[in-house]
């Protein structure tokens, strides 16, 4: 049957026909791929159609339009719902791409990826991340409207989320939604696909709480509707648009796999194709032709009408923007600059200089650099997971962002590391802002899912992670990171920078802000000597990830390679080896493996000459990974066990990392090797 199906049928409900089209496209794509999740798109097609055709404001011809509403499919496994909507809405996602669902090189991957598909706001799949990203988007919207009151009407938008049972089970969403309620993010609207089914079966197996009561306790407004009653969904959305003092949770009771005669309302339709027989049975039960990927002409016409509405809204917005340019040109230019995504101009910053002879923790140096940068980079915003004083993440002279005042740049995330990471990502995804967040390095374990997604999406986020070794001391092994640097270095696209003194810390911040991707700054609790740069290479050399800090005696017999708090120890040991033992020694500062690996081979070989086989690495952390620089016969000094509770000096002695012990171990190694 041709695409005129529905146009000549008496009594056809056009809105239902549109929803059924979404269902069928999802069913067909999953079946063609023989892989995917048809149940969620089939169950949420009605409410999604209402949201996109009656509430959501978009511009398919300009997916990154500043004034658009944000839509987050937190339940990313239901990606064919989103791809169907994007196709029907007129985004650059032709039907052929839906037919290539989950195939190599297609723009319809198994889970939505914001860097692959136009109109996808964030990469989702790990449950809980999308809804938590959305909190960051809603927070960014409130902050920008407060920062630019003359443009508030143009910057204002809503953030809509479609979330699953699984999203609301994940702990990260609880943390993020709690903060959203505290901050009164009233432009945030979550539609919960309350279908009572998860992979294992009925959600009753593990999830019996009163979700609406929980969200009400968070400070949200809540309501419950039949997710298949389009008028009820529309009414709930209208109410959410009128009442913006608190975020909204709309519980939409749905039937997973709706329309399937034998698999609806079962776990069997969650993550597997319907199968040829059930697909045909479903289409027959719906009164739908068996033609695959059928989009009725009447549905295309309905969506064309919606696109005209969006064009009118965009034209009105453009007129307002032109008025802003005329009346407030500096404001318009600032907003455009922030949304450009370009790295900030850091030359105007009054960079602090740290004089030799002083002793300062790199976390304290970072705080000074941050405040200098905050004066030069007005869209830098962030805070800490309840460790502001320890992480040194406060911007002096700024207040704390709150529901009474969204303009300040200091955020307080509370003890919510997991949510902080996802919220930072959401703010970066929203555009215009450069967010940073602080915690202890050991708690990077709580941030890791968001760190990984930030790297996957190339988001410019900065993670200030302090107390970066056993030398934080008496708090003991629960707080002393050991394996964390190696684990973070394993994430592709994530820069992990462990500066060796205050001036390298300033360089690390520059590297972070100029990088189109996430950066972890690994910083000390304890004071470190500020190196005398008249006797060593300039700290700016750290921009290349690794560099020759100091050398004496000609072609090096031995290389000492170090980062962070061990750099000055390596330097002292090398000086002694040259002065007392007559050794030709080179010290290499290697604060960032990833950036060093980006340098050409000639530079890397110049810093670490292949002919020099006597190599020592020194880092107060797991030695895992250092063999790439020391070789299999090198000496790797570190900590391949958990720490202990004691003062820092006692720990250094106990684990053989005190300067005198390091010297003895290096001497013994060189005696065996040279």
Q: Which residue has the tokens 């056809």?
A: 12
The residue that leads in pLDDT, 423 or 353, is 423
Active site residue 417: yes
**pLDDT bracket for residue 4 (50, 70, 90):** confident
pLDDT tens for 577-619 read 999 999 999 999 999 999 999 999 999 999 999 999 999 999 9
Residue linked to tokens 């949510």: 419
Under 8 Å between Cβ of 499 and 542: yes
Contact 167, 173 (CB under 8 A): yes
What is the mean pLDDT of the segment spanning 421-439? Answer: 98
pLDDT at residue number 6 = 67
Contact 475, 447 (CB under 8 A): no
Q: Is the pLDDT of residue 11 over 80?
A: no
CA distances from 418 to 43, 72, 436 (A): 30, 19, 14
pLDDT of residue 357: 87
In whole angstroms, what separates CA 525 from the centre of its chain?
26
d(CA 209, CA 218): 14
Which run of H or of E encompasses 428?
Answer: helix 417-430
**Tokens linked to 340:** 């450009």
The beta strand positions in 553-644, using DSSP E, are 558-562, 585-589, 614-618, 635-637
Distance of CA 115 to the CA centre of its chain: 13
The whole-number pLDDT of residue 267 equals 96
Given this model, what pLDDT does residue 12 score?
Answer: 67
> Taking a C-beta distance cutoff of 8 angstroms, is the pair 560, 585 a contact?
yes
Percent with pLDDT over 70 in the chain: 99
Binned at pLDDT 50, 70 and 90, residue 348 comes out as confident
Answer whether residue 240 shows pLDDT above 90. yes
Quick one: which of 406, 363, 409 has its CA closest to 521? 363
pLDDT band at 8 (very low <50, low <70, confident <90, very high): low
Rounded Cα distance between 73 and 544, Å, is 39
Which 3 state secondary structure label does DSSP give 442? helix
Which token pair is 291? Answer: 């033609």
The residue ranking higher by pLDDT, 485 or 7, is 485
Question: Cα(666)–Cα(649) distance, rounded to whole angstroms?
Answer: 20
Asked if 101 and 83 touch (Cβ cutoff 8 Å), the reply is yes
Tokens 């800090």 appear where? 549
Indicate the helix (H) or strand (E) that contains 468: none
Q: Are strands 201-202 and 197-198 parallel, antiparallel or unpaired?
A: antiparallel
What is the three-class DSSP state of 70? strand
Question: 641 is written with which tokens?
Answer: 């066990």
Which pLDDT score, from 0 to 100, does residue 9 have? 52
Please give the average per-residue pLDDT across 561-586, as a whole number: 98
Residue 316: pLDDT above 70?
yes
Question: Which domains are present in the chain?
Answer: 14-310 (3.40.50.970), 359-529 (3.40.50.970), 545-673 (3.40.50.920)
> CA-to-CA distance for 119 and 124, rounded, in angstroms?
13
- Look at residues 426, 411, 421 and name the one whose alpha carbon lies nearest to residue 452: 421
State the pLDDT confidence band at 548, using cuts at 50, 70 and 90: very high
Structure tokens at 150: 């003359």
528: three-class secondary structure by DSSP: strand
657-669: pLDDT as tens digits: 999 999 999 999 9
Q: What is the mean pLDDT of the chain?
A: 97
CA distance 487 to 468: 13
**404 Cβ contact partners less than 8 Å away, ≥ 6 residues apart:** none
Active-site choice (170, 175, 417, 566)? 417
Which of 560, 540, 565 has its CA nearest to residue 550? 560
622: which DSSP letter? -
Residue 515 has what DSSP assignment?
S
Per-residue pLDDT tens digits for 447-500: 999 999 999 999 999 999 999 999 999 999 999 999 999 999 999 999 999 999
Tokens for 29? 């794509």
pTM higher than 0.95:
yes
pLDDT at 1 over 60: no
pLDDT at position 10 over 60? no
The pLDDT tens digits of the residues spanning 352-405 come to 999 998 899 999 999 999 999 999 999 999 999 999 999 999 999 999 999 999
Whole-number Å distance between alpha carbons of 386 and 411: 10
- Inter-residue contact 633 to 627 (CB < 8 Å): no
Percent of the chain with pLDDT over 90: 97
């Amino acid at each position: 049957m041709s695409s005129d199906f529905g146009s000549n049928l008496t009594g056809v409900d056009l809105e239902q026909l549109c929803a059924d089209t979404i269902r069928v496209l999802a069913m067909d794509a999953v079946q063609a791929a023989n892989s995917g999740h048809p149940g969620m798109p089939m169950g949420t097609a009605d409410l999604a159609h209402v949201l996109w055709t009656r509430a959501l404001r978009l511009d398919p011809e300009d997916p990154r339009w500043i004034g658009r509403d944000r839509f987050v499919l937190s339940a990313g496994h239901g990606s064919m719902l989103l791809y169907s909507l994007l196709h029907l809405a007129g985004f650059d996602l032709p039907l052929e791409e839906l037919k290539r669902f989950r195939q190599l090189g297609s723009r319809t991957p198994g889970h939505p990826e914001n860097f692959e598909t136009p109109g996808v706001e964030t990469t989702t799949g790990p449950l809980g991340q999308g809804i938590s990203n959305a909190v960051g988007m809603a927070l960014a919207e409130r902050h920008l409207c407060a920062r630019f009151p003359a443009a508030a009407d143009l910057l204002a938008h809503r953030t809509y989320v479609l979330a699953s049972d699984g999203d609301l089970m994940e702990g990260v969403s609880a943390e993020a939604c709690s903060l959203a309620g505290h901050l009164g993010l009233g432009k945030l609207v979550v539609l919960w696909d309350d279908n009572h089914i998860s992979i294992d079966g009925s959600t009753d197996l593990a999830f019996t709480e009163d979700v609406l009561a929980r969200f009400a306790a968070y400070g949200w407004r809540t309501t419950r509707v039949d997710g298949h009653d389009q008028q009820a969904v529309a009414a709930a959305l209208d109410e959410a648009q009128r009442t913006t003092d608190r975020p909204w949770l709309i519980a939409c009771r749905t039937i997973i796999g709706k329309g399937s005669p034998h698999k609806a309302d079962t776990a069997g339709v969650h993550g597997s194709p319907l199968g040829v027989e059930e697909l045909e049975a479903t289409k027959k039960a719906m009164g739908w032709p068996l033609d695959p990927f059928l989009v009725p002409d009447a549905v295309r016409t309905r969506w064309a009408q919606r696109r005209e509405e969006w064009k009118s809204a965009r034209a009105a917005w453009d007129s307002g923007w032109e008025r802003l340019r005329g009346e407030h040109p500096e404001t318009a230019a600032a907003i455009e600059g922030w949304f450009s995504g370009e790295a900030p101009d850091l030359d105007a910053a009054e960079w602090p200089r740290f004089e030799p002879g002083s002793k300062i923790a790199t976390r304290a140096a970072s705080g000074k650099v941050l405040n200098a940068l905050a004066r030069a980079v007005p869209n830098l915003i962030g805070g800490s997971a309840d460790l502001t004083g320890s992480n040194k993440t406060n911007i002096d002279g700024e207040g704390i962002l709150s529901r009474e005042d969204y303009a300040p740049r200091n955020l307080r995330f509370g003890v919510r590391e997991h949510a902080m990471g996802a919220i930072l990502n959401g703010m970066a995804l929203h555009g215009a802002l450069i967010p940073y967040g602080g915690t202890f390095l050991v708690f990077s374990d709580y941030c890791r899912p968001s760190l990984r997604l930030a790297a996957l999406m190339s988001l410019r986020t900065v993670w200030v992670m302090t107390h970066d070794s056993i030398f934080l001391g008496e708090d003991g092994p629960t707080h002393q990171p050991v394996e964390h640097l190696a684990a973070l270095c394993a994430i592709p696209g994530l820069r992990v920078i462990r500066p060796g003194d205050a001036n390298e810390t300033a360089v690390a911040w520059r590297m972070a802000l100029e990088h189109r991707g996430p950066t972890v700054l690994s910083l000390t609790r304890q004071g470190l000597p500020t190196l005398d740069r008249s006797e060593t290479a300039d700290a700016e050399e750290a921009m290349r990830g690794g560099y020759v800090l100091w050398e004496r005696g000609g072609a090096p017999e031995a290389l000492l390679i170090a980062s962070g708090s061990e750099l000055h120890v390596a330097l002292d040991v090398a000086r002694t080896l040259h002065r007392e033992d007559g050794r030709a020694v080179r010290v290499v500062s290697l604060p960032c493996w990833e950036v060093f690996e980006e340098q050409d081979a000639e530079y890397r070989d110049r810093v670490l000459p292949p002919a020099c086989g006597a190599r020592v690495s020194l880092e107060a952390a797991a030695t895992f990974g250092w063999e790439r620089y020391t070789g299999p016969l090198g000496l790797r000094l570190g900590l391949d066990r958990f720490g202990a509770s004691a003062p820092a000096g006692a720990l250094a002695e106990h684990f053989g990392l005190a300067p005198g012990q390091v010297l003895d171990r290096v001497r013994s190694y060189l005696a065996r090797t040279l």
